[in-house]
Amino acid sequence: MTNRMHKPKRLACLYACLLCVTAPLRANPPSEPQPAQAAIASAHPLATRAGFEILAKGGNVFDAAVAVSAALAVVEPSGSGLGGGGYWLLHRASDGFETMIDGREKAPYAARADMYRSRPGASTDGALAAAIPGMPAGLAHLAERYGRLPLAVSLAPAIRHAENGFAVGHKFHKLLGSRQPVIRRFPSASRIFLPKGKLPEPFSVLRQPDLAETLKRIARSGRDGFYRGEVAEKLVDSVRAAGGIWSETDLASYRIIERRPVKGAYRGIKVTSAAPSSSGGIVLIEALNVLSGYDLEKADETARKHLIVEAMRRAYHDRALYLGDPDYGYVPVERLLNADYAAGLRSTIRFDKALPSAMLAGEPEQNAEAANTTHFSIIDRDGNRVAATLSINLPFGSGFVAAGTGVLLNNEMDDFASSPGTGNAFGLVGGTANAIQPGKRMLSSMAPTFLENERGVAVLGSPGGSRIISMVLLAALDYAEGHDPDSWVSLPRFHHQYLPDGIQYEPGALSQAEAATLAAKGHRLTALTERYGDMQAVLWNKKTRALSAGSDPRGEGLALVRP
């Protein structure tokens, strides 16, 4: 690593304060040889290429992560963007240093616990649904603290795609179609995404000149280019004029937090994943801990699925009960990750019968809806890694663009439990730990993850709202059984999230006989007509020293390995 790894002096004090509370993990330096190539998997070919472009310019994996994140913000605005946030899980090969950048959005200071009561749609559509973005601060922090290159270089591909335009894909067309009624309500958004009032056809070119200007400001001035000055003024004026509650103080005071990733082990595999304010890592590791008491490879296929579902049910139940922003209340991380605690949960699982979720706690049923977000995974030739999951929540977020900025705002406020016990857009219920409070981060399900054993190192994650964690769980079990990224990303998926109490499954995930056996055990089954998720994964096989990468066949991403 270069001396750019050391923080600028003027920020040293601030970081020292943050890091003393949330010190990232320091591990022993690895002794293994490193891969001789680099691998990037992301949800859009232009984003994957942006990452390689920056590596070729002498950037390290963290510069490449800035480039991929920013490119996705431009070419996949359905999933993430400058108006959103996310989590970057980092591993530095030279000394084993690992940390998670929590760039999750925060509730504005004027937010109140009951602000969405009796206001249908207000937590998902329009300016009031938008929380204070963390993405620009995350990009600036990654570049300044961990990168080698200035933002002007690592943001260049994104600026180019915003200025020159990019060809709209089928996924973009479909998701935009589903959010079109909301986007049409906001002229600043429809001008960009519905040119001449029409849904852009696949292969038409979409330009975002205002977004290019905002990116240039960030390139010149770092986080201040977004959180202060002209862009900040435009953001606040526009949000307030549309009924939102942002203030300039909300923007100026936004800070990322570096947190210690959560760690676990499953059958000799080290699992490293997102810490709260995401529930992703805890729910993933808790489910794996429950499953570690069984030999899943020897179980018949239906018994295996029944056990996985029962583990998901219990881990998601704890999500609803205990998880929220750790800066606003105690989150019992050690207990939830404890193997004996998992053994207690395991002792309540019967082989012959599903446990109704109401026996864990009675809650109303909700329907899960479509989800968005994005994920990318990178390993560079030195073995440095980034797993990043980024979001603006539902496809095209709130559908609202702050006039003159090109910034499409998130609707992450819906990830709070705005009415404890009632489900959000993903049907997830939550309690007071995830109630709305001024300045608080809403609970996420994002689960950027590393898996590591003597076989290799895997970097993976996916979009998909509440289903993110169960997707990563199924992929981790597949890794444990010796499979490669192409298998993890394409596996037929099934999901249980405690409430609604039922298994949702993709076409092909359960045979008729399996579905009948699971129903006889008491499981309620919902056969989905569409597949879900867009997993992006890379693997460094330590035995063969080869890198491989997989991009979910459900999406339009690109996974590449290059020298």
**Of residues 60 and 445, the one with the C-beta less far from ligand GLY:** 445
Q: How far apart, in whole angstroms, are the C-alpha atoms of residue 470 and residue 309? A: 9
Beta strands in 254-394 (DSSP E): 257-259, 262-266, 269-273, 374-379, 385-391
Write the binding mask 371 to 410 for ligand GLY: x where contact by CB under 6 A, - elsewhere.
--x-----------------x-x-----------------
Q: Among residues 125, 415, 501, 514, which is the contact residue for ligand GLY, using CB under 6 A?
A: 415
CB of 111 to ligand GLY, least distance (A): 17
Matching residue, tokens 């959103």: 84
Least distance in angstroms from the C-beta of 87 to ligand GLY: 9
Position of minimal CB gap to ligand GLY: 444
Helix (H, G, I), strand (E, B) or coil at 18: helix
Is 412 a binder of ligand GLY (CB under 6 A)?
yes
Nearer to ligand GLY, 123 or 393 (CB): 393
395 residue type, one letter: P
311 alpha carbon, distance to own chain's centre = 22
Q: Answer yes or no: are the C-beta atoms of 64 and 388 closer than 8 Å.
A: no
Question: Which has the closest alpha carbon to 360: 310, 433, 401, 398?
Answer: 310
CA distance 76 to 509: 28
Specify whether the CB–CB gap between 29 and 96 falls below 8 A.
Answer: yes
- Quick one: residue 296, left, alpha or beta (phi over 0 = left, psi -120 to 50 = alpha)? alpha
Q: Which of 48, 124, 373, 374 is catalytic?
A: 373
Give me the half-sphere count of Cα atoms (radius 13 Å) on the Cβ side of residue 244.
34
Question: Concatenated DSSP letters for 455-490?
Answer: SEEEEE----TTHHHHHHHHHHHHHHTT--HHHHHH
If the CB atoms of residues 354 and 442 are measured against ligand GLY, the closer one turns out to be: 442
Between residues 79 and 147, which has the closer beta carbon with respect to ligand GLY?
79
**Strand, helix or coil for residue 81:** coil
Judged by CB, which is closer to ligand GLY: 238, or 393? 393
Neighbours of 61 (CB within 10 A): 26
Nearer to ligand GLY, 212 or 394 (CB): 394
Applying CB under 6 A, does 125 fall inside the site for ligand GLY?
A: no
For the bound state, the minimum distance from the C-beta of residue 424 to ligand GLY, rounded and expressed in Å, comes to: 9
Q: How distant is the alpha carbon of residue 247 from its chain centre?
A: 26
- Nearer Cβ to ligand GLY, position 391 or 398? 391
Least CB distance from residue 448 to ligand GLY, whole Å? Answer: 11
Cα separation of the two ends of the chain: 19
E-strand spans in 6-71?
Answer: 38-42
Minimum CB separation of residue 279 from ligand GLY in Å reads 8
Q: According to CB under 6 A, which residues from 314 to 373 bind ligand GLY? A: 373
Shortest spacing between CB 536 and ligand GLY, in angstroms: 16
**Cα separation of 338 and 19, whole Å?**
25
Binding mask 511-540 for ligand GLY (x = CB under 6 A): ------------------------------
373 is catalytic: yes
**Please, what is the minimum distance in Å from the beta carbon of residue 430 to ligand GLY?**
11
Which residues, numbered 437-476, are part of the site for ligand GLY (CB under 6 A)?
Answer: 444-446, 465
Q: Would you tell me which residues interact with ligand GLY (CB under 6 A)?
A: 373, 391, 393, 412, 415, 444-446, 465
Active-site residues, by number, are 373
